[in-house]
Amino acid sequence: MPKPPPAIPDAPAELTADWDHELAAFGPDPNAPAAAPPTEAPGPLASARAALERLSTWVPIRSLARRHRRRIIDHLLALDPQDRYLRFGYPASDEQIRKYALSIDFARDEVLGIFNRRLQLIALAHLAYAQPLLGGEPERAMAEFGVSVLPQSRSRGLGRRLFDAAGLHARNRGVDTLFIHALSENRPMLRIAAAAGALVERDGGESAAYLRLPPESFGSQVEQALERHLGELDFQFKRQAQVLSEFVDSVAEVKAHFESSGRAAKE
Ligand SMILES: CC(C)(COP(=O)(O)OP(=O)(O)OC[C@H]1O[C@@H](n2cnc3c(N)ncnc32)[C@H](O)[C@@H]1OP(=O)(O)O)[C@@H](O)C(=O)NCCC(=O)NCCS
């Protein structure tokens, strides 16, 4: 359970404007030149236009459910001891990983994943929502973000995409602060958080990052719905392609079998 967040200064004006532009689910690009301040208040049309722009650099992110536990476990077991240490804060054993995966509460939390063409889960994020306080709304709703990307798929922006998507989901659930607990040596993770505008607090070997989220909007809801449908479509498409490829392989196998038995019969 994370400690209560410190007072987070409001995001810089240009960042707020960007969020208010409603389609910042994938976050500001740290390499992009500073955006010019908007000349007019963003309306639904401007939001839709921005959504289409963002789709051009789209990465399919899928919401995972209980039935994906096996893939989640396989993904985490594929991490080496150092990555497990960075991900969990200790070098989790296979058993601890299985326990962790079995303990994910899919009814409360959200798990997001990115699959490759062979349907291997190459990137995984867990967005853990704080338990609601009994007897009323918590003063500050918070969600904790944890992520892992398989080594061969790193430095392609997948970690950052999952972070931004998690921010969008949390925002649409009424959460106002995204919390990340990371080891201070974890430069990629802290870089992702800082680039999104998070306040990073170092405490020796450990760091805590707090990202203040803007309130949900019509645009943020539309973007999440789009992302969900497209992520599902992408997964089904890859599955069909895999089934087709297996079918072609088995036809080729049967053909080869008949050809060799035909040859044997002739001989
Ligand atoms: C942290 C992690 C998820 C990042 O995934 P990723 O897909 O490689 O991340 P991205 O490509 O989106 O971005 C990483 C950023 O860190 C930077 N980076 C990468 N390696 C770095 C390094 N050794 N030092 C400093 N920055 C580094 C990248 O340049 C990039 O920044 P940029 O967008 O400004 O260029 C991945 O390294 C990982 O799975 N690590 C093990 C588990 C873990 O540490 N989880 C986080 C704790 S919750």
CATH of the domain at 100: 3.40.630.30
User: Looking at the domain assignment, is residue 173 inside a domain?
Assistant: yes
User: Looking at the domain assignment, is residue 39 inside a domain?
Assistant: no
Residue 69, classified by CB atoms within 10 Å of its CB into exposed (0-12), middle (13-18) or buried (19+), is middle
Whole domain around residue 202: which residue ranges?
54-130+140-266
**201 pairs with which residues across the strands?**
208
Contact call for residues 25 and 168 (beta carbons, < 8 A): yes
- Which spans in the chain are helix H? 13-20, 44-55, 69-77, 81-88, 94-103, 158-172, 187-195, 218-266
User: Looking at the domain assignment, is residue 179 inside a domain?
Assistant: yes
Contact call for residues 4 and 25 (beta carbons, < 8 A): no
| Domain count across the chain | 1
User: Looking at the domain assignment, is residue 135 inside a domain?
Assistant: no
- C-alpha of residue 188 to centroid of ligand 1, in Å: 3
User: Looking at the domain assignment, is residue 68 inside a domain?
Assistant: yes
Taking only the tens place, the pLDDT of each residue in 107-121 is 999 999 999 988 999
Scanning the structure block, which residue is given the tokens 């390499």? 31
Pocket of ligand 1 (CB under 6 A): 30, 83, 86-87, 146-149, 154-160, 182, 186-189, 191-192, 195
Which of 149, 158, 164, 181 has most ligand 1 atoms within 8 Å of its beta carbon, as the pocket-test mutant? Answer: 149
Which of 191, 200, 206, 211 has most ligand 1 atoms within 8 Å of its beta carbon, as the pocket-test mutant? Answer: 191
State the Cα–Cα distance between residues 32 and 195, nearest whole angstrom.
11
Q: Which residues of 99-111 are buried (b: 16+ CB within 10 A; e: fewer)?
A: ebbeebeeeeebb
Which of the four pLDDT bands, split at 50, 70 and 90, describes residue 90?
Answer: very high
User: Looking at the domain assignment, is residue 6 inside a domain?
Assistant: no
Arithmetic mean of pLDDT over the chain: 82
Taking only the tens place, the pLDDT of each residue in 127-153 is 999 866 555 555 568 999 999 999 999
Contact call for residues 132 and 138 (beta carbons, < 8 A): yes
User: Looking at the domain assignment, is residue 73 inside a domain?
Assistant: yes
In this structure, the residue with its CA closest to atom 12 of ligand 1 is: 157
pLDDT computed for residue 38 by the predictor = 44
CA-closest candidate to residue 1, choices 128, 99, 100 = 128
